[in-house]
Structure 1
Amino acid sequence: MKPGAANRWLWALILLGALAACARPAPEQALREAVESVEAAIEGRDAGELQRWLADDFIGPQGMDRDQARRTAMLYMMRYQSVGATLGPLEVALQDEDRGTVRFTVALSGGSGRLVPDSARLYQVETGWRMRDGDWRMTSASWSPLIR
């Protein structure tokens, strides 16, 4: 084999290895992206997409299940023409590669679509997550208002 050909093969293998390493984001990055997708579903007023991110055994406050969470989101989305969710910094804690917790503050707002929201509240949120079949799903959520 010519020296130039060997170098090309070496570079091709290095490139292939780099691409393979980039194919799947690290668990923490994938979890952050899942949280961003939930935020986008809320802002996009898409309760069905929001429910897609909830595990089948999701549990929320007062025993809220997955379907109740979707219905609650739908009610809020029907009430307000414009829905906003602005998340503070995410505190991600991985218990292992397939379980994690994400804590953050969120400002939820809803309104008629004008500049100023009709309603806005700030919450402290804690969510539990589990990896299943390569995707993160929210298993639990709890929240409390920061300003009462």
Structure 2
Amino acid sequence: MLPVRRILLCWLAVGTIALMIAGCGSQSADERLNLKLDELQDGLEARSTDRVMDVLHSDFQARGELDRDWARRTMTLMFLQNQRVNVLVINQETAIDPVYDGQAVTQAQVSLSGAERFIPDSARVYSVTLNWLEEDGDWQLHRLTWE
């Protein structure tokens, strides 16, 4: 009787894990986009150029003319100048386009500060617009503008 219970418990555990994995894949587009926004913020605060670059679309442009190479160089310089980078999202509104599938826009007020040591020595508030494209369930930052 004991081996039957073990087999039954094993199958129950496998079934539960399979249901949990299946449930993880059913995130809404909103949830996936919010996770991508968190990844972007976390990558900047961790001073990880690679993590931020993973969020950028292969055809990324900032202000209509600055590309992925510019983004990499700018982040590398910023991360070398600042031991700490803080991103504070003051307000944010994201809208997934109801007409064009796989497109979304995020508008936000963001405070970006950097510090060589413990006290921030630079801080600025930006109004940013992020245009997103979804490819195979993965949101990527396609266009970025700021004031």
The normalised TM-score by structure 2 is 0.80
2:56 maps to: 54
1:30 aligns with 2:38: no
Structure 1 position 129, deviation (Å): 0.4
Say how many residue pairs are matched.
128
- Counterpart of 2:121, as a letter, is D
Structure 2 gaps, min length 5: 1-14
Structure 1 gaps, min length 5: 1-11
Match of 2:105 among 84, 88, 101: 101
1:4-83 aligned at under 5 Å gives the runs: 20=22, 23-61=25-63, 63-83=65-85
- Counterpart of 2:111, as a letter, is A
Contact 1:84 1:110 in 2 (8 A): yes
- Counterpart of 2:117, as a letter, is G
- CA-to-partner distance for each residue in 1:2-40, whole Å, 9 max, x for gaps? xxxxxxxxxx9xxx5x97555331101111110110000
- CA-to-partner distance for each residue in 1:95-146, whole Å, 9 max, x for gaps? 14411001111110001221x20100000110000111221100000011xx
Contact 1:51 1:67 in 2 (8 A): no
The normalised TM-score by structure 1 is 0.79
Mapped to 2, the partners of 1:20 and 1:52 lie a distance apart of: 25
Structure 1 position 63, deviation (Å): 0.5
Cα RMSD (Å): 1.9
Which runs of at least 4 in structure 1 moved beyond 3 Å after TM superposition?
18-22
Structure 1 position 62, deviation (Å): 5.3
